[in-house]
Amino acid sequence: MESYFLDWANLLLRWVHVITAIAWVGSSFYFVFLDSSLTPPVDEDLKKQGVSGELWAVHGGGFYHPVKFNVSPPKLPGHLHWFYWESYSTWLSGFALFTVSYLWSASTYLIDKSLMDWSPGAAIGVAVSFLVVFWMLYDLICQVFGQKKNGDAIVGALVLGLVCIASWLACHWFAGRAAFLLVGAMIATAMSANVFFWIIPGQKKVIASIKAGQPVDPIHGQRGKQRSVHNTYFTLPVLFAMLSNHYSFTYSHPQNWLVLILMMFAGAAIRQFFVMRHGYKLGRNPHPLPYALVGVAVIVGVIVWLRPAPQPAVAAAAQPAAAAPVAYADVQKVLEQRCYMCHGAQVQMKNVRLDTPAALRQHAQAVYQQAVVTKVMPMNNSTGITDAERALIGRWFQAGARVE
C-alpha cells in the first residue's frame, strides 16, 4: 500500500513540477529575448521618462508595447507584477519529488554498493550537501570575481570547473541515474537561490529607494541581471540532467560523468546561440552560428561514442542453439533470483508482481522493455543480472512470451 501512495505522490508532484518549470523557463526565455530585442525609443516622451528600450510585438490578435526603464521608472505603478513564484514553486515541487523518488528509498534508488557502500542516512546527507555546498561555492565565486575586469569570463570558467568536479563526484558516489538527477537538482537549486537571495532582494531595495525618494543604486540591477543571465545558461543543462533518467545508455556508461559534462556543455553552447541570435538580428552581436555548431558537434560526438559495439557474427553451427525456444521454467529461474524480491508475493513495487504465470504474462512487455531493451531494471542492477540472462528473457519474449 505504501508503494501505491508513493506512486501517486510521484505522479502528482511530477505533474506540478513540470507545469511550474514550464512557467519559470518560459518567463526566463521571454525576458532574455526581450532584453536582446529592445531598441532605443523613438518617442521623445518615452526618452524623457527614462526609457532605455522598447519593443513592438503582435501575439494572439493583439499588439504589445513593452518598454524598459533605465534603472527605475519616474513613478511606481499601482500594481507591479513580480516574477518569483515560478522559481520557488519549481524548486519546492522538484525537491519534494526528489525526496519521494530517491531520498525516501535511498537504498534502492540512491545507493550503488559497487560504488559506495554507505548507509541510507549518510547517502541522503551527502546528496543534500551537494545542493548546499554547490550554491555556497558558486555564490562565493560570483561575489569575489563577478565585478572584476573580465569577471564574466572568470566566473564562467570557475563555475564550469565546479560543475565538472561535482559531476565526477556524484557519478562516483551515487547510482548513475540518481547522480545525473542530483547534478541537475544542484544547479537548479543555485538558480532558485539566485532569485531568492539576489534578484528579488535587489528589486525590493530599488523599490524601497524609489518610495523613499532616494537615488537608486544601479548595482542592484546589475547584480540581478548577472544572476539572471547565469540562470539562462543553466537551463538547458538542467533540463538534460532531469530528462536523462529515462535513458539508461547515458547514466549507465562507465564514463557517465563525462557524458553528463559533455551534454550539459552542449546545452549551454546551444543556449548561447539563441541568446546572441536576438541581438544579431539588430546588428549588436556577431553571427552566433558557431556556438550552435559546437553544441551540435559535441552531441553528435557523444552519440558516436556511446553507440553499441557491433555484435560478432554467430557461426552457422551455433545458430540453431541460439534460436532454441526458451521455456517458462528457464525464465522463472532468472526472475526468481533477480526480480522476485521486489516483484513477488511479499513486495510488489509499482504494483507489479511477476511470480505467477498470469502476472508475468500481464507484464511481459514491461519486463522486456525494462530488463532487456533499456536495462533499467533491476534498479542499479542491485541483484546482479547478467547480459546472458537478459538475452534469455529477450528470446523468451520475442518467441511469444509463453508461460505454459
* pLDDT tens digits, 385-395: 888 889 899 89
pTM: 0.83
pLDDT in tens, 36-62: 889 999 999 999 888 999 999 999 989
Query: Tell me, what's the pLDDT at 320?
Result: 47
Specify the range with the lowest mean pLDDT, choosing from 167-171, 196-200, 342-346, 361-365.
342-346
User: Is the alpha carbon torsion for 88, 187, 245, 1 positive or negative?
Assistant: negative
Please say whether the beta carbons of 42 and 25 come within 8 A: no
Domain boundaries, the chain: 2-37+82-306, 316-398
Query: Tell me, what's the pLDDT at 22?
Result: 94
Q: How far apart are the first and last CA of the chain?
A: 31
| Residue 135, all three cell numbers | 550554491
| Residue 335, all three cell numbers | 526472475
Please say whether the beta carbons of 399 and 368 come within 8 A: no
Query: Tell me, what's the pLDDT at 264?
Result: 97
pLDDT in tens, 3-29: 778 888 888 999 999 999 999 999 999
Helix, strand or coil, per DSSP, at residue 356:
coil
User: Helices in 247-338 by DSSP H: which ranges?
Assistant: 248-251, 256-281, 289-306, 319-322, 328-338
Annotate 100-111 with DSSP letters as a single string.
IIIITTHHHHT-
In percent, the amount of the chain with pLDDT more than 90 equals 49
- Residue 208, pLDDT > 70, answer yes
pLDDT in tens, 99-153: 998 998 888 889 888 889 899 999 999 999 999 999 999 999 999 998 888 889 9
